[in-house]
C-alpha cells in the first residue's frame, strides 16, 4: 500500500501527511508516483499479448509532472482540447501517440493537432467530419480519423458520466456509422484509420464493455468486407476505482474477458484509462477551521467545492479520515467548506473525532480533483505535491492572490 498507516499517522509512500501539510500548507493535493506507475503497468502487462497502446485520458488529471511520468513510461494520451494537447507536448508526450476526442473541436484546435501530427481524431459527428476534411484540404494534409461509434449500451454508471447511450451527446449512432465511414473514405482530406467507443466512466461491471465491443467488431467486419480496413480499434476507458465499497474489475480481468473477442484481430488495440490510473493515487489534505454544533454538527474545513467539485456536482461519496491521532470523541459531522453555497459539502454524516486544527485526508482525489478546481469566491487554487519514496516534490505552487486577477485590466478613465 502506498497510502497507508505505518503507525497512527497516515502516510503517502514514506512521507507522513502531517509533515507534508506543515511544509506545503493546506488544502493540498498529494499524489504517489509509485501508485500511478503501478496502475499504468497493470494495464500494460494485462494487454501484453496484444499489439496495444495505452492513451491516458488527460481530463482525469492534467498536471504536467504526472503527464511527464506517463510519457516516460511510453504512454500515449487521449485529449479533448487544444489546451490538453499543449500540456501533453510540454510534458514531453509523443504527438504520434495522441488521440483527440470531444464533441466540439474548433478549427484552430484541428489545425493545431494536424500540425503536431497526432495519431487520430476521434470523430463525434458528421458535421465534425466535414470540418476536419475542409481544414485538412486547406492545409494540404490528410487527417487520420477514427469514428467514435455510440453503441447504445447502458454503462450502469452515474448519468452525468454515461456516454454510450443514444440519448448522450457523444459519438455517432452505430446504425448511422457505416454510411458515414463510406462517406469519410471518399473525402480527399480524410484517412480512415480506426474505430473508437467509450461508454462511460466509473464502470464496475465488464458486461457493458463486452456488449459494446461485440457491436463494434460486427461493424469492423462489415467495413472490412466493403474494402474499408481499419488499422486500430479504441475500446475507450472507464474502469472504476474504489471510493466506498465498490469492487471494480482489474485490467487483468478486462483483458481476460475481452481477449476471446479480440483474438486474431490485426487491428492495434488502443485504450483510454484515466481515473483508473490516477484516482486512488491521490489525497486532498485539509484542516478543520471550526466545529459548529447544532441540529447538525458541522466541521468547517479550509478545502471547498472550489478544490474538490465531485461531491457538489455528482453527490459523489469520497472517504474522509483523520490523518493523525486526535484526543476527542467521535461524532457525526458534515464536512463543509467556506464557499457561500449550501452545496459546498465534502462529506455528510461522517463519524470522526475532531478538534479545530485536525488534519483530514480525503481519499481517491487523484482524478477529477485539482483538474476541476476553480477560483470561485476568489479562492486561489491549492498546491500539488508528488511523493516519490521519502521525497516530496512541489509540482504546482499554491496560487498567489495576484493570480486571481491575472490577465484582467482596470479601466483607464473615470
**pLDDT tens sequence for the chain (414 residues):** 799 999 999 999 999 999 999 999 999 999 999 999 999 999 999 999 999 999 999 999 999 999 999 999 999 999 999 999 999 999 999 999 999 999 999 999 999 999 999 999 999 999 999 999 999 999 999 999 999 998 877 655 445 444 444 455 568 998 899 999 999 999 999 999 999 999 888 899 899 899 989 999 999 999 999 999 999 999 999 899 999 988 999 999 999 999 999 999 999 999 999 999 999 999 999 999 999 999 999 999 999 999 999 999 999 999 999 999 999 999 999 999 999 999 999 999 999 999 999 999 999 999 999 999 999 999 999 999 999 999 999 999 999 999 999 999 999 987
Question: For residue 207, is it within any domain?
Answer: yes
274 is in an annotated binding site: yes
Model-level pTM? 0.94
In a domain, 91, yes or no: no
**Does 15 participate in catalysis according to the annotation?**
no
Domain assignment of residue 372, yes or no:
yes
- For residues 343-379, b (16+ Cβ closer than 10 Å) or e, as one string? ebbbbeebebebeeebbbbbbbbbbbbbbbbeeeeeb
Same domain? For 262 and 308 the reply is no
Number of domains in the chain: 2
Full domain range(s) for residue 340: 3-30+279-405
Does residue 222 have a known ligand-binding role? no
Residue 234 to residue 214: CA distance in whole angstroms: 13
Q: Annotated catalytic residue: which of 340, 401, 410, 411? A: 340
Asked whether residue 391 falls in the same domain as residue 299, the answer is yes
Does some domain include residue 89? no
Identify whether residues 253 and 303 lie together within a single domain. no
264 and 121 part of one domain? yes
What is the C-alpha separation between 219 and 181, in angstroms, rounded? 10
Same domain, 264 and 380: no
Answer yes or no: is 275 a known binding residue: yes
DSSP code for 380: P
**Residue 314 marked as a ligand binder:** yes
Which CATH number is 388's domain given? Answer: 2.40.37.10
What CATH number is attached to the domain comprising 257? 3.20.20.10
Identify whether residues 334 and 263 lie together within a single domain. Answer: no
310 is in an annotated binding site: yes
- Same domain flag for 228 and 349: no
Residues 352 and 246 placed together within one structural domain of the fold: no
Does one domain contain both 21 and 120? Answer: no
Residues in a beta bridge with 274: none
Asked whether residue 81 is assigned to any structural domain, the reply reads: no
Amino acid at each position: 500500500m502506498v497510502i497507508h498507516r505505518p503507525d497512527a499517522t497516515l502516510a503517502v509512500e514514506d512521507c507522513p501527511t502531517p509533515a507534508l501539510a506543515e511544509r506545503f500548507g493546506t488544502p493540498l493535493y498529494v499524489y504517489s508516483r509509485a501508485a500511478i506507475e503501478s496502475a499504468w503497468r497493470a494495464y500494460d502487462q494485462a494487454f501484453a499479448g496484444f499489439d496495444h497502446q495505452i492513451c491516458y485520458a488527460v481530463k482525469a488529471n492534467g498536471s504536467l509532472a504526472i503527464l511527464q511520468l506517463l510519457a516516460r513510461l511510453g504512454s500515449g494520451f487521449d485529449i479533448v482540447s487544444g489546451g490538453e494537447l499543449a500540456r501533453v507536448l510540454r510534458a514531453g508526450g509523443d504527438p504520434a501517440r495522441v488521440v483527440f476526442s470531444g464533441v466540439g473541436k474548433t478549427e484552430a484546435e484541428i489545425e493545431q493537432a494536424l500540425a503536431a501530427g497526432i495519431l487520430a481524431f476521434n470523430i463525434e459527428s458528421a458535421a465534425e467530419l466535414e470540418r476536419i476534411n475542409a481544414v485538412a484540404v486547406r492545409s494540404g494534409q490528410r487527417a487520420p480519423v477514427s469514428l467514435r461509434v455510440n453503441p447504445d449500451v447502458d454503462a450502469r454508471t452515474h448519468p452525468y458520466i454515461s456516454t454510450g447511450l443514444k440519448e448522450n451527446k457523444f459519438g455517432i449512432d452505430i446504425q448511422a456509422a457505416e454510411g458515414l465511414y463510406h462517406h469519410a473514405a471518399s473525402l480527399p482530406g480524410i484517412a480512415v484509420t480506426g474505430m473508437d467507443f467509450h461508454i462511460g466512466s466509473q464502470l464496475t461491471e465488464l458486461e457493458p464493455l463486452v456488449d459494446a465491443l461485440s457491436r463494434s467488431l460486427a461493424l469492423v467486419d462489415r467495413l472490412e468486407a466493403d474494402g474499408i480496413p481499419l488499422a486500430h480499434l479504441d475500446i475507450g476507458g472507464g474502469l472504476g476505482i474504489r471510493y466506498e465499497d465498490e469492487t471494480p474489475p482489474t485490467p487483468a480481468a478486462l483483458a481476460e474477458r475481452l481477449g476471446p473477442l479480440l483474438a486474431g484481430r490485426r487491428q492495434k488495440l488502443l485504450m483510454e484509462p484515466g481515473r483508473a490510473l490516477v484516482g486512488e493515487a491521490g489525497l486532498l489534505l485539509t484542516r478543520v477551521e471550526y466545529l459548529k454544533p447544532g441540529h447538525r454538527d458541522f466541521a468547517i474545513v479550509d478545502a471547498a467545492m472550489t478544490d474538490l467539485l465531485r461531491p457538489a456536482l455528482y453527490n459523489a461519496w469520497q472517504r474522509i479520515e483523520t490523518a493523525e491521532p486526535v484526543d476527542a470523541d467521535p461524532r457525526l459531522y458534515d464536512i463543509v467548506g467556506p464557499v457561500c453555497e449550501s452545496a459546498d459539502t465534502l462529506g455528510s454524516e461522517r463519524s470522526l473525532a475532531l478538534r479545530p486544527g485536525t488534519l483530514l485526508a480525503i481519499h481517491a482525489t487523484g482524478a477529477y480533483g485539482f483538474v476541476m478546481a476553480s477560483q470561485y469566491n476568489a479562492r486561489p487554487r491549492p498546491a500539488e505535491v508528488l511523493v516519490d519514496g521519502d521525497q516530496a516534490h512541489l509540482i504546482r505552487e499554491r496560487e498567489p492572490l495576484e493570480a486571481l486577477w491575472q490577465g484582467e485590466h482596470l479601466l483607464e478613465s473615470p
